Amino acid sequence: MKCLVINLENVRCTWNSQGTPDVNYNFSSWFVKENERSCAEYLTDNGTNIGCKRPYTKLQRFDAFYTTLRYGRETYVKKHDLKRKVMLNPPTNLTVKNGSDFNLWFYWNQTDKHCVEYQVRVKMNNSTWEFSPVYLGQRYCQNLPSSTARYELQVRSRIEHSCGESEVWSDWSEPVVWGFNNTTDTNKGHEAMPVWTVVLYVAAAITLLLLVMILLHNERIKIILIPPLPKPVLNSSDVEVSSIQRLIDAILLFSCLALFNDA
């Protein structure tokens, strides 16, 4: 007979750890200071009783709990200490965000946040799981993630020490994924350009355009950067305009090629 408190909402007892029994047992249970009660909600396997789910309140967590199985003249009575047998529901609504600190932040929700601790496991690409220390709080930070890696994260929860630590963890949450699966060379050509790279090139292009505008309006800088031709074929104003136009075209062509190559 094994009994667990499920998410501090009900007690679930099962007696099929060694297989489905050949007979249908009748189950009853009680906490200290209450009367014995028959099972109102059996768990079955092909019509055979294998467990029971009964109501529970948080105030009963530290009370002794008793169960009885009966079949004919056979009676099995057992006392249970449920304080360390609490199994929470797994965390839900996992989300992931890129922080302004360039770290990767994971967040989640827990049905009952009070007295709950967590453990996270992270897998990068196809490596093995890495487990975090047990800690409080509903977030996890992955420091300076690689932009070419794929991160998969899951989290589980349990009642923490100050509230009577449970020895039973919840199931692992549904996974949340961030990034790219870069385990094969074929994926490298399809990676998105990082946002900061695009911003850098746009800033460079604007700076170059500003320099050109200054050049057009400052005669001294114009003479230093574009000295007059010793034997101009055209008049001087045509030469200067033509030279400046070629400089602008070259700058714009360089910026476009740089953006194209990084894309």
What pLDDT is recorded for position 247? Answer: 65
pLDDT, the chain, mean:
82
By C-alpha distance, which of 66, 52, 2, 54 is closest to 24? 52
What pLDDT is recorded for position 182? Answer: 38
What pLDDT is recorded for position 193? Answer: 47
Give phi and psi for 218, each to the nearest 5: -125, 110
Burial class (CB in 10 A: 0-12, 13-18, 19+), 16: middle
pLDDT digits (tens, 9 = 90+) for 184-239: 333 333 344 455 666 777 888 888 888 777 766 665 555 665 666 665 555 555 55
Query: Region 58-76: what's the mean pLDDT?
Result: 92
pLDDT tier for residue 61 given thresholds of 50, 70 and 90: confident
What pLDDT is recorded for position 199? Answer: 72
Tell me the one-letter amino acid at 29. Answer: S
User: What percentage of residues in the chain have a pLDDT greater than 90?
Assistant: 48
174-188 burial, b if ≥16 CB within 10 A, otherwise e? eebebbbebeeeeee
Q: Per DSSP, which regions of the chain are E strands?
A: 2-6, 10-14, 26-31, 37-38, 42-45, 48-55, 64-71, 74-81, 86-87, 92-98, 104-109, 116-124, 130-131, 139-142, 150-159, 176-179
pLDDT beyond 80 at 240: no
- Tokens 């994924």 sit on residue: 177
Specify whether the CB–CB gap between 201 and 259 falls below 8 A: yes
What pLDDT is recorded for position 189? Answer: 36
pLDDT tier for residue 2 given thresholds of 50, 70 and 90: very high
What pLDDT is recorded for position 42? Answer: 95
Token duo for residue 13:
């007892």
Token duo for residue 190:
């399809």
pLDDT beyond 60 at 156: yes
Separation in Å, CA 121 to CA 130, 131, 151: 5, 4, 10
